[in-house]
Amino acid sequence: MKKNIDFTLYVITDENLIKKDIGKAVEKAIKGGATIIQYRAKNKTTKQMYKEASEIKKVCDKYSVPLIINDRVDIALAVDADGVHVGQDDMDVEVVRRLIGFNKVLGLSTKNIKQVRQANKLPVDYIGFGSVFPTKTKKDAKEAGLENLRKAVEISLVPVVAIGGISEENVEKVLNAGCKNVAVVSAVFKDKNIEENAKKLKEKLLKQKTMGFRAL
């Protein structure tokens, strides 16, 4: 499996927040400090997704930032993305791994400690854990909370990326829970100040890493 992936600031695209020029939006996020990009689209055609993913891949390659495709293994293979991220109700992890091979990154969403323990037995490179806080991005997301995040970090055999309602205002709580990687959507793409939004988050993440983690 791929090693040395920097999951610190994991930025996920959103079709409701990025109406056009998705490549430019992603480039601004990367310039602001995004260390990995996930392309996620739920309401677009396969042709539209391929076009957008191809555009994003060019930008990611330009800055040597990994590109992960949410759910769609076919799109990931078509654009030669760096990996795939799947949820609990998507294609089985073992099947995805067989399709993409062991040179690409494979991530799995987890919502509770039971799923984290199950993920330890699966061929994944990292897990997403959340929703840590309430979020409007995914309407069906249930709040997992900071204590469960702390437990997830303690027992997971692979890197944990916290997700769900994380913003500049509460990111320190995530870091203090022991999780050094955060996935964000609206915190970066909420307005036109994409680069600045990403930069502010990245600065807080790096500052906390330099200081070391504190207990809650």
Each residue of 6-43: pLDDT tens digit? 999 999 999 999 999 999 999 999 999 999 999 999 99
Which DSSP helix (H) or strand (E) runs through 146?
helix 146-155
192 as an active site residue: the answer is no
Each residue of 142-164: pLDDT tens digit? 788 999 999 999 999 999 999 99
- Paired tokens of 117: 């323990």
Q: Which of 28, 72, 104, 109 is catalytic?
A: 109
Q: Which of 40, 104, 111, 199 is catalytic?
A: 40
Q: How confident is the model at residue 135 (pLDDT cuts 50, 70, 90)?
A: confident
Domains of the chain: 9-211 (3.20.20.70)
138 as an active site residue: the answer is yes
Average pLDDT score over residue span 1-8: 80
Q: Which of 111, 138, 151, 200 is catalytic?
A: 138
Residue ranges with strand state E in 8-125: 9-12, 36-39, 67-70, 83-86, 105-110
Residue ranges with strand state E in 14-102: 36-39, 67-70, 83-86
Q: What pLDDT shows up at residue 208?
A: 66
CB-side exposure of 13: number of CA atoms within 13 Å? 31
